[in-house]
Amino acid sequence: MEITKMHGLGNDFIIVFGETELPADAAELAVKWCNRFFGIGADGLVYILPSEKADFRMRIMNSDGSEAEQCGNAIRCVSKYVYDHGHVDREHISIETIGAGVQPVTLNIRDGKVDTVRVDMGEPILDGLQVPTTVDENPVINHFIEAHGHAFNFTAVSMGNPHAVIYVDDAVNFDLLTWGPLLEVHPLFPKKINVEFATVRDRGYVDMRVWERGAGPTLACGTGACATLVSSVLNGLTDRTAVISLKGGDLNIEWSETDNHVYMTGPAEFVFKGYTF
């Protein structure tokens, strides 16, 4: 089987193209291949599959074997893969996901290859029970949560997958490894949660670090960047367009007043190709 290693701002994936359905052993393969010491090493295993609703369908297995409903960095990698390999020849395509349905994608082409990708990430879900959380509020803004005797406040946003955005004094140096895993499995989050720790520098720039559900600390999270922008607008901290700065680089995020959709723009890169035996 041919595999391709790709990344979006350091959030890296093993890409598989050519299957017609998600293999029965996809979870086991994700755990095995994503291991950074005994495998290929990645945050997730992504299958590009046929779709009856879009140009392609994307299925994402986290490094722990669980399935992610959506992933912003992965959809950019998938979009670059299908164009650069000649499976589409248009700058406007669509990718089907489990959590957010069919998502329109605009490709920025440079020298015959995809340079950056703009994804219509759809409307954010703000109802607490639908995110899901156990909090029956719409929206859930600055809600109290306690973990291991420490108090936080979170804003809940779903971008097809669940996020809790927490504002801290210094996101860049925040103790992600201590608080991320505790908050991920907190009882307030029945399907676990992706946790973003954010520091607003000004109305157009936010530092963010992420603990991803099923993957742990990653260098970037596209849906997390979108959730952070939405949360920051709801809390009156930023304008509706801002740069979300992650450890692996920056994403440009816009929450449109016209259609209420969130738009994400950022790069995707090839790393290498290989084969499994």
Q: Point out the residues that are catalytic.
A: 71, 221
CA dihedral 104, 27, 267, 165 (to 10 degrees): 80
Q: What is the rounded distance in angstroms from the CA atom of residue 93 to the CA atom of residue 82? A: 10
β-pairing, 56-62 vs 92-97, is parallel
Q: What is the rounded distance in angstroms from the CA atom of residue 193 to the CA atom of residue 32? A: 23
Report in angstroms the alpha-carbon separations of 15 from 72, 142, 149, 154, 209.
14, 37, 41, 33, 24
Report in angstroms the alpha-carbon separations of 203 from 231, 236, 241, 250.
13, 9, 9, 15
Check: CB of residue 116 under 8 Å from CB of residue 266.
yes
DSSP 78: H
Residue 94: what are its φ and ψ, rounded to 5°? -140, 145
